[in-house]
Amino acid sequence: MHLGSGKNMKLPYYLGCLLREAIPGGWLRWRLGRVLARAQRRKDWDYIQQRVDYYCRLNEPVALPEDAPRLGEHTRKGMGSVYYFDTQEFIRWFDPMLRWRLFPGDVTFVPEVPGIVKSRPIGGDNTRSVLLNLDKVRHFTFLKDRIPFREKLDRAIFRGDVNRTRKMHRIRFMERYFGSAVCDCGIISAPQDECPPEWTRPKISLWDHLKYKFIMTIEGNDVASNLKWVMSSNSLAVMPRPRFETWFMEGTLEPGVHYVEIRDDFSDLPEKVAYYSAHPEEARRIIENAHAYIAQFRDKRRERIISLLVLEKYFRMTGQRTERHE
């Protein structure tokens, strides 16, 4: 039996944020050089540097506009609290006179000037999109699944919201599979008159999803927010090749290794469900690979170091810091 929905609880998150706000910023700035210097002596330094260079792909100096906001001017105005707190956690380690650009929310474009984003397109030149782990209380949820793959239902499940402006692909999926034997489909919320009323289903917990061997991870406004907890489970993540990525580095995921890839029009879902239901050992290998991929994000101290180094590189490449130990 599981208590709660399986999602991260907001109260501990906000309490932690308020406690961090009580730490003097001057003390954090005094510690920064020491923290970054020690990081370079870690045995996993090469791995850390690879992650930093993946998130911040700025390799040539670039100037920010003179009117770019300073860190010390950062407020909650115009953004959700989670974006404020998730950036504030790390920018307080740096000189408040440094300039930056933050693009909060579900970003699917590459900004004209280098800026901090939660998400970016995978394809094309995304150099100016510098990833930081934002809205992590929603996106970075991991589950401990006690149901073996073999004991789950031979079906897929999809629950999500839709709108015809940015989530038309989800509507197409529902049109194809609602009421079918291959997938238990349901919409938990939608603007009025945007989908048939029979599509609506009550919300279910994350734990209830784990009864199924296959869980659909269909992108929404940007990434599929359920992908992290699905890959931490003993079910298979099923999706078309992702178009956007976040701190989770969706662009490095390999189809058939970390998840089950289906066509963009979802037409081969029955074929994939039948195949992996009949070949549980192959399914198990994908699940084990997914768990190994998830493991790299569980070291909270290392994730903090990587976040600081991403910002350090951003300020250095925008000509505002000269050396890492500064």
Report the C-alpha gap between 56 and 25 in whole angstroms.
Answer: 24
pLDDT at 321 over 90: no
Task: Indicate which CATH number applies to the domain containing 172.
Answer: 3.40.50.2000
In a domain, 323, yes or no: no
Residue 283 is encoded by which pair of tokens?
């399914």
Asked if 100 and 317 count as a contact pair (C-beta separation under 8 A), the reply is no
Share of the chain above pLDDT 70, in %: 96
Is 180 in the same domain as 130?
Answer: no
In a domain, 155, yes or no: yes
In a domain, 1, yes or no: no
Helices (H), 165-257: 168-177, 206-209, 227-231
Report the C-alpha gap between 277 and 97 in whole angstroms.
Answer: 57
pLDDT digits (tens, 9 = 90+) for 62-84: 999 999 999 999 998 888 899 99
pLDDT digits (tens, 9 = 90+) for 226-259: 999 999 999 999 999 999 999 999 999 999 999 9
Cα Rg of the chain (Å, integer)? 21
Is 283 in the same domain as 168?
Answer: yes
Q: How many alpha carbons lie under 13 Å from residue 144 in its C-beta half-sphere?
A: 3
Domains of the chain: total = 2
Residue 185 is encoded by which pair of tokens?
């489909």
Ramachandran sector of residue 193 (left: φ over 0; alpha: ψ -120 to 50; beta: rest):
left
Residues 6+ apart with CB under 8 A from 213: 149, 152, 153, 154, 155, 156, 235, 236, 273, 276, 277, 283
Per-residue pLDDT at 1: 41
Rounded mean pLDDT, 289-315? 97
Is 16 in the same domain as 105?
Answer: yes
In a domain, 276, yes or no: yes
Is 108 in the same domain as 175?
Answer: no
Asked if 320 and 69 count as a contact pair (C-beta separation under 8 A), the reply is no
Is 153 in the same domain as 267?
Answer: yes
In a domain, 264, yes or no: yes
Residues 6+ apart with CB under 8 A from 244: 108, 119, 120, 121, 122, 219, 222, 223, 250
Report the C-alpha gap between 192 and 190 in whole angstroms.
Answer: 6
In a domain, 324, yes or no: no
Rounded mean pLDDT, 95-99? 97
In a domain, 4, yes or no: no
pTM of the model: 0.93
Is 63 in the same domain as 110?
Answer: yes
pLDDT digits (tens, 9 = 90+) for 123-179: 899 999 999 999 999 889 999 999 999 999 999 999 998 876 567 899 999 999 999
Per-residue pLDDT at 70: 97
In a domain, 229, yes or no: yes
Whose structure tokens read 């002596």? 41
Is 15 in the same domain as 87?
Answer: yes
pLDDT digits (tens, 9 = 90+) for 175-229: 999 999 999 999 987 666 778 889 988 889 999 999 999 999 999 989 999 999 9
Is 228 in the same domain as 260?
Answer: yes
Q: Report which residue type is found at 326.
A: E
Is 284 in the same domain as 303?
Answer: no
Is 176 in the same domain as 237?
Answer: yes
Is 223 in the same domain as 313?
Answer: no
Per-residue pLDDT at 190: 64
Whole domain around residue 23: which residue ranges? Answer: 10-139+299-317
Is 177 in the same domain as 158?
Answer: yes
